[in-house]
């Protein structure tokens, strides 16, 4: 019996949880690239996690926690192991000015919910196309706001199946950083503290940021957002333009004409096309400006 047969048999005993095989990850990433995952799990409640994660750990199967896939470059050969997808963890409760939501809810959905309930604070995040769990992991931010400003606590599940509640300071939120990047924690739910506001005012702010984003960023094309981290003292867009790489392409991948800090999937790009283009841009920017660019999205799987 192979290790994967043992995995199938043991996960199969968890009520309501199905183990799927050979799932194309390009369907689960905003870049629309990525080969198949050997195994794919869609937990719907905390008991699925507390039962399944220890099995994965015990069998030493490589795993990856997947939110909306908006900050990932997944290799064309896919992922050898199991993907734990949070997209079915979608419930939330609101108590006074606090919302506690499961990690699979998307930021724009949360912004809409809080706008309807006249709670202000999440407007900055309404255009970030990630899930709440991914936003916590990355301490996502935009237009002067970041998750750190709102997060009060989070419930996490460790790979040994332990459930813990972490305070904001234990989460160590910093520029594109959280403790989740160092520990084997799956964020199950997050509590955000908001302030009361007027629906029309909140809506106005969301619409304004939406227009700003759509006018400056290539939102109409598949991408993983900003492809490079902002180097201290510089902006990536101008650095890339100065290096003559705005509009450059490799295979189906292209440096956006609208915002040079984005690489877009223009024409059925492969992950390999994107990687090659990243290398070209890095090389030219270093040659012209002496700045070493660092990729922001995470590389996942086999290339
Ligand atoms: C067009 C576009 C614009 C963007 N603009 C911005 C922006 O303005 N600001 C910004 O900060 N980002 C931006 N991003 C990047 C991205 O949306 C954010 O980083 C987002 O927070 C990622 O969330 P996700 O659910 O897609 O995570 P994924 O891409 O699925 O995963 C990212 C990382 O988080 C981990 N993770 C996901 N969920 C969990 C969980 N529940 N528990 C533990 N770990 C988890 C994953 O394992 C992975 O390591 C943009 C992306 C795009 C495509």
* pLDDT tens-place string over residues 22-48: 999 999 999 999 999 999 999 999 999
Spatial neighbors of 268 by CB under 8 A, at least 6 apart, are 252
pLDDT for 1 beyond 80:
no
User: Are 166 and 153 in contact, with CB atoms under 8 Å apart?
Assistant: yes
Q: Is 32 in the pocket of ligand 1 (CB under 6 A)?
A: no
pLDDT for 2 beyond 90:
no
pLDDT for 4 beyond 90:
no
Pairing outcome for strands 141-142 and 145-146: antiparallel
Count CB-CB contacts under 10 A for residue 226.
Answer: 18
User: Is 189 a residue of the active site?
Assistant: no
- What was the pLDDT predicted at 21? 95
Would you place residue 176 in the very low, low, confident or very high pLDDT band (cuts 50, 70, 90)?
A: confident
pLDDT tens-place string over residues 239-275: 999 999 999 999 999 999 999 999 999 999 999 999 9
- Best residue among 128, 155, 173 to mutate for probing ligand 1's pocket (most ligand atoms within 8 Å of CB) is 128
- What was the pLDDT predicted at 268? 97
Domains in the chain, CATH or no CATH each: 3-85 (3.30.43.10), 92-201 (3.30.465.10), 218-300 (3.90.78.10)
Percent over 70 (pLDDT), the chain = 100
Percent over 90 (pLDDT), the chain = 97
Distance 44 CA to ligand 1 centre (A): 20
User: Is 230 a residue of the active site?
Assistant: no
Distance 124 CA to ligand 1 centre (A): 15
User: Is 176 a residue of the active site?
Assistant: yes
pLDDT tens-place string over residues 49-67: 999 999 999 999 999 999 9
């Amino acid at each position: 019996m192979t290790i994967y047969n043992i995995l199938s048999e043991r996960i199969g005993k968890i009520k309501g949880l199905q183990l799927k095989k050979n799932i194309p990850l390009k369907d689960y990433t905003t870049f629309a690239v990525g080969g198949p995952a050997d195994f794919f799990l869609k937990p719907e409640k905390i008991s699925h996690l507390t039962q399944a994660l220890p099995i994965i750990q015990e069998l030493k199967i490589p795993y990856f926690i997947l939110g909306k896939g908006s900050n990932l470059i997944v290799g064309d050969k896919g992922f050898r192991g199991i993907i734990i997808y949070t997209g079915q963890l979608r419930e939330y409760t609101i108590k006074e000015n606090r919302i506690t939501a499961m990690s699979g809810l998307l930021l724009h959905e949360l912004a809409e919910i809080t706008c309807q309930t006249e709670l202000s604070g999440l407007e900055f995040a309404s255009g970030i196309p990630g899930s709440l769990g991914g936003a916590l992991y990355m301490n996502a931010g935009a237009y002067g706001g970041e998750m750190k400003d709102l997060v009060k606590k989070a419930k996490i599940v460790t790979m040994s199946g332990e459930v813990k509640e972490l305070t904001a300071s234990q989460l160590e939120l910093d520029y594109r950083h959280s403790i989740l990047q160092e520990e084997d924690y799956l964020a199950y739910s997050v509590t955000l503290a908001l302030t009361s506001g007027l629906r029309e005012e909140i809506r106005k702010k969301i619409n304004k940021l939406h227009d700003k984003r759509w006018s400056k960023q290539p939102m109409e094309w598949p991408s993983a957002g900003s492809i490079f981290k902002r180097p201290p003292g510089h902006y990536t867009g101008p650095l890339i333009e100065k290096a003559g790489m705005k509009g450059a392409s490799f295979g189906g991948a292209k440096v956006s004409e609208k915002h040079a800090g984005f690489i877009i999937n223009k024409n059925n790009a492969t992950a390999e096309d994107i990687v090659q283009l990243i290398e070209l841009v890095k090389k030219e920017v270093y040659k012209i400006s002496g700045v070493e660019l660092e990729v922001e999205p995470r590389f996942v799987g086999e290339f």
